[in-house]
């Protein structure tokens, strides 16, 4: 059974009158890869900085291995941080960048300053170079390294002091797409090899799903859901989580009975229960869970309004009674064609209504917003009347 290492208890962070963290509770296990995921301004970096000791919560407590550490400064916590800007020393080579922290004298239990022997420094630096796959790069100057290599030097420098926890604040943001994917695998490998806790901050849902043992989805200073990547994707708690984690069609529904939900006046079998009879609900249907069939065989019938080729699949927008769905399929249905769809019971997920209900899930919104921001005469402050005339 995993051992709890860090706990945030009723933590609130406010700057003047603005609350950026709203009474969050979170525990993190030893040797866990946990990701704080959410849009800009949701509070994820503030949470990371509170754990690292760079900020003190307005109220609430932080515990490390059962000990309250609110007043413990960053350099006295068994925690190191890798930021998006790596802050490497350009006048030092790779070896000296990694060794830098080891050369700073440490205070022992008697209050005496103690330096590490040069032999131990050398051994630990060379070990770190192997861990981050930079063996033979020790004499290279930082300016001779690629972005991915610089990031690995920053990680090695943070790990060489043997912290119990490594905090990573969007460290892949400066890398191109292919290198970012490579580094996702590299970070997971390093975390497993070092057997320490990684706490990772990102707004990229693909990164979170690919690397994490646990994902914490945040919005507006609050934790919306905590779970495994599979749980977060397949069982979102509300419309925000469903929309933020992957593509989703989110439709108003009515729970007629356990295992029966109604959308667009059609009843569908599902696997959900525990709702009140005839309770209004949000229904999530992932684009990949929809099967296209001939119109006369469909549970719902609609018109294709847009098709985008994505390489392995087509992204097809289909208008059902004025509400536009995204369907991802390997079969092409041209624009203007009439189609039917079928959805298996395990492809339907029912959620309680929340204050996010009605804000997400209709794929007509993107094109409308894009047209608006492309129109120089558009005034967002004016009341917009009308809408789709379907």
Sign of CA dihedral 88, 92, 93, 98: negative
Q: How far apart are CA 266 and CA 340, in angstroms?
A: 13
- At the second CATH level, the architecture of 4-234 is 3-Layer(aba) Sandwich (3.40)
Helices (DSSP H) in the chain: which residue ranges?
A: 44-52, 94-99, 118-131, 147-159, 177-194, 205-211, 229-234, 239-244, 365-373
Distance from the first to the final alpha carbon of the chain: 56
Q: Which residues are paired to 352 by β-bridges?
A: 281
Rounded to whole angstroms, how far apart are CA atoms 9 and 24? 7
Half-sphere exposure of 300 (CA within 13 A, CB side): 24
| Widest CA span in the chain | 83
Closest CA to 4 of 34, 27, 33: 27
pLDDT in tens, the chain (390 residues): 579 999 999 999 999 889 999 999 999 999 999 999 999 999 999 999 999 999 999 999 999 999 999 999 998 899 998 877 778 888 999 999 999 988 887 776 777 888 888 999 999 999 999 988 899 999 999 989 988 888 889 889 999 988 999 999 988 876 777 778 888 888 898 899 889 999 999 999 989 999 999 999 999 999 999 999 999 999 999 999 999 998 999 999 999 999 999 999 999 999 999 999 999 999 999 999 999 999 999 999 999 999 999 988 999 999 998 899 999 999 999 999 999 999 999 999 999 999 999 898 888 754 444 445 455 554 545 544 433 333
Mean pLDDT of all residues belonging to the chain: 89
CATH 3.40.50.300 domain position(s) in the chain: 4-234
Q: How many CB atoms lie within 10 A of CB 59?
A: 11
Q: What is the rounded distance in angstroms from the CA atom of residue 232 to the CA atom of residue 214? A: 9
Q: Determine which helix (DSSP H) or strand (DSSP E) holds 266, and give its type and residue range.
A: strand 266-269
Q: pTM to 2 decimals?
A: 0.85
Per the CB < 8 A criterion, the answer to whether 26 and 7 are in contact is yes
Residues of the chain with CATH 2.40.50.140: 248-373
Angstrom distance (rounded) from CA 70 to CA 63: 8
Q: Which CATH superfamily is domain 248-373 in?
A: Nucleic acid-binding proteins (2.40.50.140)
């Amino acid at each position: 059974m995993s051992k709890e290492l860090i706990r945030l208890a009723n933590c609130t962070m406010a700057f003047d009158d603005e609350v950026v963290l709203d009474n969050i509770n979170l525990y993190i296990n030893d040797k866990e890869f946990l990701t704080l995921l959410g849009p800009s301004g949701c509070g994820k970096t503030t949470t990371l900085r509170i754990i690292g000791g760079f900020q003190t919560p307005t109220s609430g407590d932080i515990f490390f291995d059962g000990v309250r550490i609110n007043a413990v400064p960053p350099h006295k916590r068994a925690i190191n941080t890798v930021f998006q800007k790596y802050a490497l020393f350009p006048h030092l080579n790779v070896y000296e960048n990694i060794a830098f922290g080891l050369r700073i004298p440490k205070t022992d239990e008697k209050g005496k300053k103690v330096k590490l022997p040069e032999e131990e420094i050398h051994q630990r630096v060379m070990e770190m170079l192997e861990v981050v796959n930079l063996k033979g790069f020790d004499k290279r100057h930082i300016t001779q390294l690629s972005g991915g290599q610089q990031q690995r030097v920053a990680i090695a420098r943070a790990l060489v002091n043997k912290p119990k926890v490594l905090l990573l604040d969007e460290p892949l943001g400066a890398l191109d797409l292919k290198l970012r994917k490579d580094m996702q695998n590299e970070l997971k490998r390093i975390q497993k090899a070092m057997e320490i806790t990684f706490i990772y901050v990102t707004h990229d849902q693909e990164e979170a799903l690919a690397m994490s043992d646990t994902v914490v989805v945040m919005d507006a200073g609050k934790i919306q859901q905590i779970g495994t990547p599979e749980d977060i994707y397949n069982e979102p708690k509300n419309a925000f989580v469903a929309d933020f984690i992957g593509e989703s069609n989110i439709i108003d529904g009515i729970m007629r009975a356990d295992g029966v939900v109604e959308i667009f006046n059609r009843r569908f079998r599902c696997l959900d229960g525990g709702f009140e009879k005839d309770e209004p609900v949000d229904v999530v249907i992932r684009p990949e869970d929809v099967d296209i069939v001939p119109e006369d065989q469909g549970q719902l019938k609609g018109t294709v309004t847009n098709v985008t080729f994505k390489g392995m699949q087509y992204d097809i927008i289909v208008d059902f009674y004025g509400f536009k769905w995204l369907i991802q399929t390997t079969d092409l249905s041209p624009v203007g064609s009439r189609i039917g769809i079928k959805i298996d019971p395990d492809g339907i997920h029912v959620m309680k209504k929340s204050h996010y209900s009605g804000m997400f899930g209709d794929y007509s919104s993107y094109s409308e917003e894009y047209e608006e921001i492309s129109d120089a005469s558009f005034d967002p402050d004016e009341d917009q009347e009308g809408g789709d005339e379907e």
